[in-house]
Every structure is written in C-alpha cells, then in structure tokens.
Chain A
Amino acid sequence: MRIRIAHTTTYTYDAPPKSVTQVLRLTPRNHDGQYVLNWRIDLSRDSQLHQREGAFGNISHVFTAEGPFNELTVSVEGEVDTQDTSGVIRGTVERFPPALYLRDTQLTEADAAIIAFAEGIRAEAGADRLTVLHALLTALNEGFAFDTEPTHVGTTAAEAFKLKRGVCQDGTHVFIAAARHLGIPARYVGGHYCRTDEAAPQEAGHAWAEAYIDKLGWVGFDPTHGLSPTEAHVRVAVGLDYLGAAPVRGSRVGGGNETMSVAVKVTPATWQAQGGSWQTQSQK
C-alpha cells in the first residue's frame, strides 16, 4: 500500500520569541514491510536542520530558529510503501539488545493496579508470551475508551489505567507497563495510521507498542485498534516511552503564550505515470 503523509504544525506566539529550538523525530526509516519513497521537512524560518541518529536508531533533526517572528511552521511531507507483515517487524535498525526495553520509565511504571491487571491476564492466558500479549491487547482494546479529553502528554500509564480512557499514547503506555512487568521487553512506537475504512482520514499521529518474543523478534501491538500493525501503519520512531519517541520536543526563549495547531493528512496514494513524473492523488 502506498501511503501519503502530510502534516503541518503551526506555532503562533503572543509575543515574538527570541529563539526556538526543537528536536524532531519525524522521519521514518526503511525496514521489511516499509519503504520510504520520498520525505522532506520544511521550516517556515530560515534555519539549518541537523540530522543525527538517536539512541534508539531513530532519525532526528535539531534546529534553532532565531526570532523575532510571530509564527513558526514545521511541515512534513512524504510517501511510504508498506506491506502487511502480520505484525512482525524485521530489518529495523537496532542499537540495543531487547533486554534494554525492560527498563522502567516514569511514564511506563506499573503501579499495583497495572501489576494486578497484567498478572490476571497471564494467569488466564498461560505461559506462551504471544498468547499473553494478544490477551493484553484485547483486554486493553475493550477496557479502554478512546477519549482525547482527560489525558495529556505527561499522563503516566498508572494515571491513564485508573481513568480507563485516553488517547493512543495512554493505551500504549499501559500495554508497555504491563508487558515489562511480565518480563517481556516492550517499547513505544510513534508513527502514522492510514484509515481506509471510514470517511474521515486520520487527523493525528498514532502510537502503538512493540514487544519482543524469542524466535519471532519484535511484534507490534496496537491497543487503540485491538490488532497488530498492518500495512496501514507507518513506523517513524521508537523509544522506551512517548518522551523517547516524541515527534517534537521543543524549547524557546521568550514568546509569551504559544498556540499550536496541527494538521495531519494520512491517505492512501494511487500513482500513475504522467509526463514522466509520479503524481499522487488523495482517495477517500
């Protein structure tokens, strides 16, 4: 499946900031089942984008835009070919052995409630890790309501689990916390999801989890959709939690209050040769 991704983040400031520094993890890499055809990042301000590979193998960019300005836009556009690999992720850039992904973070620490939940699942599902993880996925998909209201980027797994609602980030954190408690390496994946089944295209980034199973390797689990990633999923960055894979982490000097608006469009692209160049076309 060919997926076209375009998103624009616009920051508007009450007062012009002196400078804005951001670290971006917005660039996908290739692996089995994912091939990046083209990709570009544009800034509305003239500043240099420095590309590096981060700790977990993600491509990151950092820039500092010097003010004054009232508005800053970061636009990303590109196309990715994907294939369904039944959720098994191979051919990725790995900088650590799976054991690193047993590491707790503040956002993914299992509290007593998550521990009880995870152990309850294991008691029912038995010793097979894949079965346990699928049971975890189903339980979270059914017991966790999608709701953008009650949580924010700093909400921990424990807090979200108590609410039993949240966004994809929250469900993913709970999944990771539970898996790690059971001794299964698990990590956070930030990326995109291309909706083909409904009228409205996906209007935000997406997140899901990957867990490590001996013999299979890394396997994806998407608690929001209750399934393993399909060809509709585009992996962009991995980390121990949201913070490690965050698409943008920024800081600024001055600028008063900031308003951020995000426009994301992830659509299936059909391609046809016209005058020797590839063209893309949106589909509903």
Chain B
Amino acid sequence: MGLAFDEMRGHDGKAVRPAYGELDRWLKEVPADVLDYRRREAELIFRRIGITFAVYGEADATERLIPFDVIPRIMSGGEWRQLEKGLTQRVNALNMFIKDIYSGREVLRAGVVPEDMIFRNPAFRPEMNGQSVPHDIYVHIAGIDIIRVDADTFYVLEDNARTPSGVSYMLENREIMMRLFPELFSRHRIAPVENYPDELLASLKSVAPLSTPKEPNVVLLTPGVYNSAYYEHSFLADKLGVELVEGRDLFVKDEVVYMRTTQGPQRVDVIYRRVDDDFIDPLAFRPDSILGVPGLMSAYTAGNVTLANAVGTGIADDKAIYSFMPEIVKFYLGEEPLLKNVPTWRCREAEHLTYVLDHLPELVVKEVHGSGGYGMLIGPSASKIAIEQFRAKLKAAPDNFIAQPTLALSTSPTCVESGVAPRHVDLRPFVLTGRKGVRIVPGGLTRVALKEGSLVVNSSQGGGTKDTWVLDG
C-alpha cells in the first residue's frame, strides 16, 4: 500500500488541487480556537436534535452520536459528472440483473454468474420469481459505496440495494454546515442536496401500481424505535411528509394494504420500507416476525402495492455477487463499466482461496453477507493471532468470504486533536430510480476514519461523517 491520494493535495502533497483552493485559504485564515469552538457547537446541535445511531454488540451504550467533522470534503463539478455517469450505469445494470434473476435468468443461462451463487444465496427470494414490479424497477434507492485511489480512479467498494441508510446524515450535515459556516459557504458555489426528499418522494410516487386511482399514498415502514436507523426513518418520513408506520399500523384485506387511521382504513399504494425481507410478512417469510404485515406479500404479488426497494434486492449486496458486477454491466448494457470494481478474490474458488491463505497479512477479507464493517479482517493492521483465527474461519467455510487488496483510500483534511490532518474517507452517494430514470443528488455521505491510519470508515467501528460538497461548474 503506497502513500494515499489526498483529496486536497494530491499524491505529492504540495500543490493544492483547484477544488480545495478556497478551503485552503480559509483554513489558513481561521483561528484554531474558532474552528474548535464551531466543532463543539456542531456536536451540541447534533446532540440536541438527537441524531443518533445504535451500535450492535455494545452492552453499555445503545445509542451514540456519530462524530461529525466540520471540514467538508469537496469534489469538482467535473469529478462529480464522471462519477454520476458511472453510478447511473451501475444502478441501471443492477435493476436489469435483479429483474432477470427473478424472471428469464438469462445471466445464468449465459454462464455469466454461477447458478448456485444465486439459488443458494440467502438473499435470493424464490417468492419473487415471476413477480412483475411497476416499470421493472427493483432498486429504487441504492447506496453505492465509492472509494478513490487517485485523481481519476474511483472504485465501487460495495453496492447497497437492500435498505441503504445514511441519507439523513447527508441532509443534516449540510444543514449544520450552512448554519455554522455561512462565510465559507458564500465563498463557494455548492450544488444543493436539500431537494433530496422531493426527489425521493417523486421517485416513489412514480412507481405506484399502475392501477392506483389518484395521488398515490406513500408510507414509510420502520421496524420501530429499537432499530439502529430509527432516527433516520422518522427524519425522512417528516421530510417527505408521509406517515411513519410500523407493521401493526398496516393490514391487508382482499390483497390490498390499508393503514389504520382515526378516520378509518386508508389505502396504501407505495411502501418505502426499511424492514428487511425476512421480517416483512410473517405469512411468507419468518413466521416469528412481529415487525411485518401479515399478508403483505399477497397484496404485492397481486400488484396492489409497490415495495421500495423490491423484495429480493439484497442479493446485490452480496460481496461475491459484487465481484461479478463488471461482467454484469457488460452483459446487460454491452458497455464497459465506467466505475471499476476493487479486484476481488472469491474464496469459494480453490485457486483464489490458496492465494488468499498465502497472503492474509496484506489483504482485506470480508464475509459475503456481512455489512457495517462487522466480521472483516484487515490484514496489515491485524495481529498474528487474529490472522490465524481468521484463517481457520476461512478454511471452514470458504464460500462465505471474499478478499481484496488493502487499498489506500484517499484522505481528506479533518479536524483532529492535533489540529487539521489527513484522514481516510469514502463516499456513499444515494441513487434514486423512478419511472423517468435515475436521479442522483450531487453529493452523498462522506464517511471518515477518524483514527490515524485507519481504513475503516463504518460508523459502527468509530468512523465519522463529513459534509460533501460538489462544486457547481
């Protein structure tokens, strides 16, 4: 792993890149105590509005603040347009792929993806087979995790097509930055992100069942207050101006979904659901789920309600499926992928496994179904014992793992104890797909690994967030 590319100063660390020129001047002008004061103020605001998330597996604190870094991550308009093209292509291919595996299965027939990786995948839902969805859109909201290694090279690190979260941070971070640093804002022309809720709502309405008589009724289905992203669910429902409901607030009669209201049952047309497939209907999936709506799948199969995202989209989150994305893009679109994949070894393949076992100290190994930075090994920073423990896990169930080279994620200037220093970042843009195509609000959620040298940006592993600025022009 070489020296990381710095978003502000490039590889050589000398010349400031144009997009960061104004920020660089500002950082030189602003007294350290002012920056520190604003930083504490930002934290106070976050605490007051109660934007929190839960960390699983920690007994003491169920909810915590995600640290917010006040120095924005900046992209030029040109960089963004390059990224936007790649994201649009990727999400179009994802939608075609998911439609295909639940209908004609051409991709399997052509041998592009091995059959057993689909059929034996827990995220594949046989119940979706032959089911049509409005406008053939399955992934209405995608969170595509992007990392950068040099001025021109962006890699997709992960596709999140199940129920991507984090967009509330994108919106809140922007709001707080505008409040705390109006003078810095006035020195830049920054593309807005505030229209995301409008874009999302328009997208959701555009995919209502074709039979929906009038203005579609959209609701947001949450697992409830104990879910780690509950704050985001209530925040988004509020911004969208739609009802926030739990499973018990909905019911199904004669293959139609209704919401219980004080004025009697009200028909529901589109459910932006933040409940996983497994829990969404106890009559179709896990019978012990109390978070879902009994009979929901019957209404869905009948075409009387749209679920966003569709059931069965989680298959795209699988990291072994991810490794086939370049071939998947070519297969459906006949184009070269604009966004690269991180080179990936599939441990299910004997040759790959041998290589991985021989090179554990230099690789990142991940569970194919894992997320949130849980259950992964970062070879270069792992102890010998941890590596040996992981080796045993790998040998026992190689199918469950993939491995990737340890990439030098780009860095971005960040407030730390000692002042301002580079820290590794990634980016999760949110890609909306509706009847009229793909829409991406310029920006996304930049996550930053606050510990020096750390490459893990996940909030569950102590990562923080930044506002992401895309410059106009």
Contacts and interface: CB of A to CB of B under 8 A. Distances in A.
Partners in one complex: yes
B126 A240 contact: yes
Contacts of A145: none
A54 B127 CA distance: 7
B78 interface: no
A249 B285 CA distance: 10
A99 B126 contact: no
Contact of B120 (A22, A102, A249, A251): A102
Interface string A227-258: 00000000000001001100001110100000
Interface stretch (B167-175, B266-274, B293-301, B409-417): B293-301
A52 B302 contact: yes
Contact of B254 (A48, A55, A99): A48
Nearest to A60: B298
B119 A52 contact: no
How many chain A residues sit at the interface, stated as a range, is: 20 to 34
Given A52-B301, A55-B126, A62 B295 contact: yes
Interface in A121-156: 154
B67 interface: no
Given A62-B295, A62-B298, A95-B129, A103 B252 contact: no
B283 A103 contact: no
Contact of A64 (B116, B282, B295): B295
Contacts of B251: 19, 21, 64, 253
Interface residues of B, number: 24
B130 A95 contact: yes
A96 interface: yes
B294 A50 contact: no
A243 B284 CA distance: 9
A12 to B, nearest CB: 20
Contacts, number: 72
B119 A100 contact: yes
Contact of A96 (B120, B129, B255, B283): B129
A251 B130 contact: no
B355 to A, nearest CB: 26
A66 B116 CA distance: 43
Contacts of A244: 126
Interface of A: 19, 21-23, 48, 50, 52, 54-56, 62, 64, 66, 95-97, 99-100, 102-104, 154, 240, 243-244, 249-251, 253
Which 8 pairs, one residue from A and one from B, show the smallest C-beta to C-beta distance?
Answer: A251-B294, A62-B298, A100-B119, A55-B126, A64-B253, A21-B295, A249-B283, A55-B127
18 contacts: A21-B252, A21-B283, A21-B295, A23-B283, A54-B127, A55-B126, A55-B129, A56-B126, A62-B255, A64-B251, A95-B129, A102-B120, A103-B119, A103-B126, A104-B120, A154-B287, A249-B283, A249-B284
